[in-house]
Structures are given as structure tokens and as C-alpha cells.
Amino acid sequence: MILNILQGEQLRISKEKLVIEQEEGIKEIALKDIKVLLLENTNTSITVATLLKLSDYGIQTIICNQKKQPTLQLLNLYDNYKVTERIGEQIAWRERDKNICFLEIIKVKLTHQKELLEYLNRNKEADYLKELIEKLNKRLTSEKIRAIEGLGARIYFKGLFGDEFKRFDVDIENMGLNYGYTLLRTLISKIIVAKGLHPSLGIEHKSILNNFNLADDIIEIFRPIVDYIVVLYISSYTDFNWECKSKILEIFYQKLKYKNKYLPIEHVIEKYIDEIISFMNHKQKKLDFPKLEIEKYEY
């Protein structure tokens, strides 16, 4: 389950249960039943012992700021016993392999965006994206690949939300996108650390100011999952309220197709990261990407 703490409650642990002390009484929830804990009220009190127990159970814990935007997450430092070996391998990843991986990621990202546009009958924009995908090849530099990706993003978002839409404006669509991408990024970061990788060492994202470069590489092909919710459910709202947020939180319940199996999104991300590790460490020659089959979404 996804548990959202909206009020200034006190949280503690008792007998493998999360105890929530509220004005109206005490509520207990078995830790094994909690998938995500979202702390949305800054007046909530939680002990270090509780945080440690949440970590032991692998519960994704996200803390919001005063504006109720996800800001912090709980990450285990030593989830993988081969962390030193893994990070050593990660540092040694070759630039040529990174460029190939980045090229394939952008191909799949644009393909997933095109498929969402087709699903919404935005065929003009979908055709533009198809042309861009056909231009992608191994002879291109990463700069040219990024340029194609950027052009695709402008076409894609205008196809979803109209010609007046601008990414990062203050409006209901951007609030929904930012919230959804942040939640997805926290899930990916948690899995990256569990695999023994360092989240700041990216494939294409390399900013010295970004602690989660690798997460920003991994998230690219999954972004249309969030875009789908925003365009179909969130755009009709005038206020980004709890109803909007609870709808976006349903991304954690989605199943995606990977290697002919439908799996929970968390398992798919795990296998996808394993795929990238194997490719970058020369244990396989090709990358196999998850499929976002829109008609299978459970929203």
C-alpha cells in the first residue's frame, strides 16, 4: 500500500507495525504491507529507530517540503555487499559504450512518446517524432542526439498540452509532471543504490551539481507513464490537490511488459538496471528495453 501522512502525526514502531498517533486515535499498519510512505506534513514527528526499521523493510520513504513537494528520500548506504566492486566497474564504463547506451535510451524514449501521441490521436506530432527516430544512428555525437531529443520534447509536449504549453511554467500540467517525475526518480534512485551503483555517476547526465545523474538517465524511457496520467486526469483540475497527487501515486501500482512478462514497475526497473550493468560491463552485446503498453495501464 501507499501510505500518505497528511497531518502532524507522530510515527513510531511497535511489534513490526507502524503506529500512527493522531488526535482521533491510534492506527497501526503492518510494515510488510507498506510499499511507499509519503510524509507530506512538516509537523510530523518520526524517530530515528522508526526510520531504521522502515529501511530494514525496504519501504520507500519520501519527505515533502512546506509546499508539499517531494524533497528528501530515505536511501540505504549499504544495500549491496559488492558496492566497492560495483562502483569501481561503474567508474570504468567506457565513453563509447555510454554513447551507444544513450542513443538506444533516446530511441526508446521517443518511441514511447510517439506511442502515447498515437494513442491520443495526435498523429501529426507522432509523425514528427517518427521522423526524428529515423534520424538517430551510431554516427551521431551525443550533442546531436541531445539536440534531436530536445526537438522531440518540444513537439511532444505541444502535442500533449497544446501550442501554448511551456515546460517548467507554473500551471497544473507542470505541477503534475514535476510531482510524478520526482516520485519515479526516488524509486529509481533507491534501486540504483540497492544495486551497489553510485547515483551521481551517470551515462549521459554528468552535472557536478546533480547527485542523481544515473537516475535521470534511467528515468527517460519511463516518463510517458507520468505524462499519460497528467494529460488524461490532471489537466482538467484547476488546483493541484490531494486528489491529483493520489492519482499520480498510482504509478507505483502499474505493470509493464519486459521480456514477454508483465511485471510490477519496481521489478521492471530492477531488471532494466541489471540489463544496463551487463551491457556496460561487456557481459551482453544488446540492450533489451521495457515496453510501455498504454492499453494495459491500470489507472
The CATH number of the domain holding residue 240 is 1.20.120.920
* pLDDT reported for residue 12: 92
Say which residue the cell 555525437 belongs to. Answer: 141
What is the per-residue pLDDT across 44-79, written as a single tens digit (0 to 9) for each?
Answer: 999 999 999 999 998 999 999 888 888 888 887 766
Q: Is residue 136 part of a domain?
A: no
Q: Are 52 and 102 found together in one domain?
A: no
Choose among 292, 26, 61: nearest CA to 189: 61
Contact 269/218 with Cβ under 8 angstroms?
yes
DSSP three-state, residue 274: helix
C-alpha to C-alpha distance for 209 and 203, rounded to whole angstroms = 15
Decide if 132 is inside a domain. Answer: no
Helix (H, G, I), strand (E, B) or coil at 295: helix
Q: Are 202 and 216 in contact (CB under 8 A)?
A: yes
Same domain, 237 and 262: yes
Which residue, chain included where needed, has cell 544513450?
102
- Asked whether residue 231 falls in the same domain as residue 105, the answer is yes
pLDDT recorded at residue 80: 62
From 43, 73, 103, give the residue that closes a domain.
73
Specify whether the CB–CB gap between 261 and 295 falls below 8 A: no
Task: Please report whether residue 60 resides in a domain.
Answer: yes
- pLDDT < 50 regions, the chain: none
**By C-alpha distance, which of 3, 75, 66 is closest to 38?**
3
217 vs 97: CA distance, rounded Å: 14
Q: Nine-digit cell at 215?
A: 537516475
**124 assigned to some structural domain:** no
Q: What angle do CA 17, 20, 24 make, to 5 degrees?
A: 140
Which amino acid, 115?
A: E
In angstroms, the Cα distances linking 17 to 13, 14, 32 are 6, 5, 8
Query: Strands 17-22 and 10-14: what pairing?
Result: antiparallel
The CATH code of the domain that includes 41 is: 3.100.10.20
pLDDT attached to residue 209: 87
The whole domain housing 19 covers 2-73
Does residue 236 belong to any structural domain of this protein? yes
Cell of 193: 543504490
Co-location of 91 and 33 in the same domain: no
pLDDT of amino acid 78: 63
Q: What is the pLDDT of residue 268?
A: 96
Are 171 and 237 found together in one domain? yes
- The answer as to whether 94 is a domain residue is yes
DSSP-derived secondary structure for 112-147: HHHHHHHHTT-HHHHHHHHHHHHH--TTS-HHHHHH
CB 289 within 8 A of CB 221: yes
For every residue of 215-226, DSSP letters joined together read HHHHGGGGHHHH
